[in-house]
Structure 1
Amino acid sequence: MIIHSKQSKPRKIIDLLFTFFGWLFLTLFLYNFISHFERNIDFKFLEVNLANANSILLITILVVITSAAALSWWSSYNKRRFGHLKRRNFPTLTSQTEIAEYYLVKKDDLTRIHTERYIER
């Protein structure tokens, strides 16, 4: 979905320039990354031994604590900013006469439909 909005000519030109340079940067970055990619990669950095297990554990705990703090801050911010808003408007109750008019049924037939367990036509 493309959203069109009225923009002035200078703003549209700046937008096109930023888009062009963004795509140019991305293609040059990917070209540089692929061209300098080595075929034989040493996976020794993935080995976990007792020497680096403590640092991995500490970094993991730090990331979890930081993520939890950020999420709790965001939650409290949303409650303070948007918590008082009441946006839900529930529809009004429908009367028996409106239901009868909608389904083209007599009102006494409608009450029979609501009250009886089995209905035969």
Structure 2
Amino acid sequence: MIIKLNRSKARECLDILLTIFGWLFLLLFLYYFVIHLGSDFSLRFYWLSISNANAIVNFTILYSGLITLSLLWWSTYNKRKYGSLRRRAFPQPTRNHEIASYFQLTEEEIERVQNDKFVEVR
């Protein structure tokens, strides 16, 4: 089932562009992964010096802080915008005459169907 939303053309174009970009990124990653799968590679790039380690730790702490702040902001925004909404409204109980009119039966037949232990449907 496809759910169609009413969105602006700009948002649909942005969605399409981001989806294409994501697929291209995935395909390029897989391509380079397969290309370099059998080749010898050097671990010289992965050796860390003290200055590199400090930069990586600083970057990780800064990045984690930014993610934490953005999640806190997002949760506050959602709580302010959507927190007070009460969207769930339960339907009123259906009466026998409404059921009878829907199924084109009499109210006596509806009561009999509801109260009998066994019902034969023809």
Structure 1 length normalisation: TM-score?
A: 0.46
